[in-house]
Amino acid sequence: MPNLFKLDQKDKKILAALDLNARESNSVIAKQLQLSKNIINYRINQLEQQKIIKSYKTIIDFSKIPLTYVRVYLDLYEFHPEKEDELVQYLFKDKTTSFIAKTVGNWDLVISFSVPHLSIFSEQWSKFREKFRHIIKEYNTSIIIKDRLFPKAYLLDKKQDTSNIFWERGTSEPIELDETDKTILSLLSQNARIPLTEIAKHVNLGSMAIIYRIKLLQKNKVILGYRTELDFSKLGYEYYKVDLELEDPKIIKDLLHHCKAHPNVIAITKAISDNIDFEFDIETKNFDTFLQFMNHLKILFPRAIRDYKYLKYVEILKNN
């Protein structure tokens, strides 16, 4: 179990501010929180040093670029640990693989592929199966239509998220981007807090021209926001993904409203998938609190939830 980092209220407020806008300057955050810039600088540095803050991510609407997200769940035979390592390394090197996580629960691995066309995924997936099908017990493939991301309201010990803040991806028409825009997006996706001077080295533009392009990407909703990737385990939290099979799909709107207001629910995904009617991500203190949430959900929606499957993220290996 990782060493837990004791956060005080100042740390929590800083993390919450960065969760809403990771590209905000330390000076502005200092004014927002009525703290000195030196304190903000020191505390953010400590949070980075302790690996509480793993990275800074730019939220890009994949439908604008355009890219298609394909998610694969894998259940592996347990007598091939060395082959599992080979499989992970294979995926890690694959340029179309954007996310890899080790999990426990109904599945062993979660993988996401980001491709401009499904035909590219089909080709990559065929090669992958030829190489590793003998160690795969079962798999499930989904096409992500859209997802909605929520602030981590639990950071401020909120009982309910009333902010009505969210970032939604996947519902837009593609937009024309030139090579300079693509380079800026690539750099920001790797580090949302990258200085303008660093971006300038790659695009041969001045700071004002880069600011203009970033603002245009934001206005056109290619860039939706900037957030932190936190190590939830060091904060004493566990990260679960839940797939619901519903008896009555009419409750989806009410489910969405309930999940959106819950401080621990961090995402809702709409996908084309087998036997999944509603799915969400939640970060809770432990397995008991996760079960309490699920039991409460079944009480709120009696006889409407037929079944559910879950997985718990153990280690996120790749997140591009």
Where are the chain's structural domains?
68-145
Q: How confident is residue 4, by pLDDT bands cut at 50, 70 and 90?
A: low
pLDDT at 3 over 70: no
Tokens of 289: 């609190």
Predicted confidence (pLDDT) per residue in 153-181, tens digit: 999 988 888 888 999 999 889 999 999 99
Query: What class, spelled out in words, does domain 68-145 have in CATH?
Result: alpha beta
d(CA 23, CA 47): 16
pTM listed for this prediction = 0.92
pLDDT at residue 161, as a whole number: 87
Tokens of 210: 């880069």
pLDDT at residue 81, as a whole number: 82
What are the residues whose beta carbons fall under 8 Å from the beta carbon of 200, sequence distance 6 or more?
206, 207, 210
pLDDT at 131 over 60: yes
Report CA dihedral (145, 151, 154, 155) to the nearest 10 degrees: 140
> 262 burial class (0-12, 13-18, 19+ CB within 10 angstroms)?
buried
Average pLDDT rounded to a whole number, residues 144-157: 94
CA-closest candidate to residue 103, choices 279, 311, 317, 319 = 311
